[in-house]
Structure 1
Amino acid sequence: MTTRRLLLETALLPSGWASDVVLDIDSGWIRAVRPAAVAEECERVPGIALPGLPNLHSHTFQRAMAGLAETRGPGEDSFWTWRQVMYGFLARLGPEEVQAVAAQAMVEMLEGGFTALAEFHYLHHDPAGRPYANPAELGARVAAAAEETGIGLTLLPVLYTHGGFGAQPATPGQARFLHDVDGYARLLEASSAALAPLEDAALGMAPHSLRAVAPEGLREMLTLRAEGPVHIHVAEQVREVEDCLAWSGQRPVEWLLSHAPVDQRWCLVHATHMNAAEVQDLARSGAVAGLCPVTEANLGDGVFEAPSFLAAGGRFGVGSDSNVEISAPGELRMLEYSQRLARRGRNLLAARQGASTGRSLYEAALAGGGQAAGRRIGRIEPGHRADLVVLDGSHPSLALAESDGWLDAFVFSAGQAAVGTVMVGGRTVVSGGRHHRRDEIARRYKAALAGLAG
């Protein structure tokens, strides 16, 4: 496919809502946008067309363990006990399973309203911790899953060198993640080759966290690539903040902003536990806060300081992280609802008085997610990828809605059930709410899980 001309019944453009929008697409890129147009020989697209939302943080392999850590243990359950379940789950996960699980997660992302993925990929070696012949064997499996499902991909190979603050030794459960900086450089090179067959894929870097990468390793890593996204987990847990203070005398976000060149390339994932000064400083840096509200709720992480961060001009996007549930509107809904529960108010993240909360959330996550992915996505505008999510205008929850009300209904009522058609790079991958390869990929996924359980 090289060219395609669409007539969108209704579309959300950077200038606002428009009707009868002719979209010229060439090799996956939007070349022209003409609102209120009359054109012959167009494919008419009924419904409400939105720019596709980027998923800025995911570990696709964790989709296979969704629901497996919901049994109460003998002590107090937390992120740290969940992490032990995750380490144990990795024991049998091989390359074919990684690809099958990633493909299933990506199908669900596309059906759930995400059109692009930034995959924070830290599973590198075999179950015994031995490197594969191809250092990017498992990253290549993620890339192959992206190719077969059609989702846009930013691959973020993860540097993981230690088991805790102060360069503590890694634990046996972390053996599959580990590299020194030289090995990581080889991983980046092999990852670049793995992405070559994909259209418009991006490569970034990801120091796992301040507890997993020592300061000297972080400095060396940042010399390897002068361009592309840089993502890092930070300040997800109270214990992480306490351990960082004990190690350095500074809080995690405070330390990172003081010791690393944090700017618009960076995405600080979670950043849940910040004080007022950190909130202001992170907003001023131009970095994106990578929020994963469903996972953060599932793990009991805490609530992000969203109102003050946005008031300071901060940027955010959303991700599905552990993939315990995959839904673009669900992440936005949980983000707003977590603020309502914590602050006992409503419409707390609307951009201003009179603004739609759904549209405010959606447009902010488009901008932050596109920035964090390092790709030209998230806008129905010339020069951007033709990534569209088209809502079914006949869905009951949209019956009384119009303009911004469509986004309020999508985020807070209909959810992903309103997703009708999804296009990525100008190709239709979801029709009638179903991915065109859903059944085939689900069969392979179930077979992979049966093998893991055997």
Structure 2
Amino acid sequence: MTTYWCEYAWLPDGVASGVRLDVEQGMFASVRVGAERVGEVLSGLAFPGFANGHSHVFHRALRGRTQHERGTFWTWRERMYELAERLDPDSYYRLARGVFAEMVLSGCTSVGEFHYLHHGARGRPYADPNAMGHALAEAAAEAGIRLTLLDTCYLAGGFEQPLGPTQLRFGDRDAHAWAERVNAFAPKEARVGAAVHSVRAVPAAQLPVVAEWPGPLHVHLSEQRAENTECLVQHGRTPTAVLADAGILTDHTVAVHATHLTRSDIGVLAATGTRVCFCPTTERDLGDGIGPARALADAGVGLALGSDSHAVIDPLEEARALELDDRLAAESRGRFPVAQLIQAATEHDAIGWGDSGRLAAGAAADLVVVDLRSTRTAGIEPGGAVFAASAGDVTDVLIGGRRIVRDRSHQLIERPESLLAKEIEVLWRS
């Protein structure tokens, strides 16, 4: 058994001081408040591990290369396709290894990877049809992060449109071929979930096949107004209604973005138990809009958070952006209690890691320590850390009781910043 003593810790009831955490076999065996100072001392504020509910690893190579460009989500997408064409299993593994390490350094202890980069050039399958998925699973294991690989069904280039040349490697022949490939994918290093890319990319008649997936099921939903408009023309219903009619929306489903919803859409999500994952730093980077976070929460819809395109990897920034973006939309302050922001930031169950996300006996021993004495956090009350701290203030990270970050240094991957710089430069030069 290993014992940690936390100066402050975010417990299910809020911030407590002098907290003793006993860890045994990767789980918290006991949690005691007001304990004497024993074991390894963790100075600062200990949070449960943060969950990155929505990730596209390869988008990290776009950071700092597209933000200055004018245009729309749709013009940005062309740059993303250009990048996707350059990757193979080896380069994907190397890039993902650095990105997952960056996530852990920022305090993420689990990640849901929305994975649709399946095949080789022009859609030719690799000898192992899941080679790209295995590359991600191996990279995550080496970085020490819990991975749920959300294998994504992607069959069309738009409503009644075939896949374009740059999209061919995303697609399988049909939903049954997708299911056959995914059912053959059983990595030791990760859990496997499923995803529908969007109502644009999976024809309505194919959706029921994906709906049969028994575990976590994610879907991009109404990120752009154009998607809603085209869906209304094609189906006479909103994307939410199309998904509901196909059986996609259930209590193990997560709708990602959900930016442009009708009141009826919100009611459907609530009635089906569907959760919503907001990705505020990406949604503002791409000009998506501000989603109805408060209205969803008021309807009883559970919220999660993700870094999506990795314009920023900072779970504290995503959490406060949930509040601050809603303030902009509502022109009012105090939209969410801090506890709700932390709950969204630690929503591991949405990606199939329900044992994580709380500092409590019987929970997975995932823990993130935030420095309360940096230039950003000096003088704050511990309970206000989400509004002051950043990923750079994360000093230590435990995942399953294993010390992955110590004193801001990743213990499994040496100098991940150099790894990222090298791999991204090579990708763009190729």
Calculate the TM-score normalised by the size of structure 1.
0.89
User: What is the number of residues matched between the two proteins?
Assistant: 428
Structure 1, residues 320-357: CA drift from partner, whole Å, max 9, x if none? 0011111011112222222222222222223xxxxxxx
What CA RMSD, in Å, does the superposition of the two structures yield over aligned residues?
Answer: 2.0
* Cα gap change, 1:288 to 1:258, in 2 (>3 Å): same
Letter in 1 for 2:42: V
SS at match of 2:185: helix
* Cα gap change, 1:35 to 1:413, in 2 (>3 Å): closer
Q: Does 1:207 align with 2:196?
A: yes
SS at match of 1:204: strand
* Cα gap change, 1:265 to 1:131, in 2 (>3 Å): same
Q: Which moves more between the two structures, 387-396 or 140-149?
A: 387-396
Match of 2:168 in 1: 175
Match of 1:18 in 2: 16
Q: Does 1:387 align with 2:366?
A: yes
* Cα gap change, 1:366 to 1:441, in 2 (>3 Å): closer
Indicate conservation of the 8 Å contact 1:29/1:382, yes or no.
yes
Match of 1:353 in 2: none
Match of 2:270 in 1: 283
SS at match of 2:123: coil
Letter in 2 for 1:215: A
Q: Equivalents in 1 of 2:128, 2:394: separation in Å?
A: 38
Q: Which runs of 5+ in 2 are unaligned?
A: none
Q: Equivalents in 1 of 2:320, 2:14: separation in Å?
A: 22
Q: Does 1:84 align with 2:75?
A: no
Indicate conservation of the 8 Å contact 2:305/2:344, yes or no.
no
Letter in 2 for 1:173: T
**Post-superposition offset of 1:438:** 5.2
Match of 1:7 in 2: 5
SS at match of 1:97: helix
Q: Quick one: which of 285, 293, 312 aligns to 1:325?
A: 312
Q: Does 1:361 align with 2:347?
A: no
Indicate conservation of the 8 Å contact 1:117/1:373, yes or no.
no
Q: Which runs of 5+ in 1 are unaligned?
A: 351-357
Q: Quick one: which of 300, 303, 306 aligns to 1:313?
A: 300
Structure 1, residues 284-325: CA drift from partner, whole Å, max 9, x if none? 322110110110111111110112111122211110001111
Indicate conservation of the 8 Å contact 2:53/2:277, yes or no.
yes
Indicate conservation of the 8 Å contact 2:396/2:405, yes or no.
yes
Structure 1, residues 165-207: CA drift from partner, whole Å, max 9, x if none? 24x2111110110012333233323432x2x1x3xx4221111
Q: Equivalents in 2 of 1:440, 1:221: separation in Å?
A: 40
Indicate conservation of the 8 Å contact 2:355/2:364, yes or no.
yes
**Post-superposition offset of 1:71:** 4.7
Match of 2:114 in 1: 120
Match of 2:211 in 1: 222
Q: Equivalents in 2 of 1:150, 1:91: separation in Å?
A: 28
Letter in 2 for 1:213: V
**Post-superposition offset of 1:116:** 0.9
Indicate conservation of the 8 Å contact 1:56/1:117, yes or no.
yes
Indicate conservation of the 8 Å contact 2:10/2:359, yes or no.
yes
**Post-superposition offset of 1:388:** 0.5
Match of 1:349 in 2: 336
Q: Equivalents in 1 of 2:236, 2:353: separation in Å?
A: 33
Indicate conservation of the 8 Å contact 2:15/2:383, yes or no.
no
Q: Equivalents in 2 of 1:384, 1:190: separation in Å?
A: 31
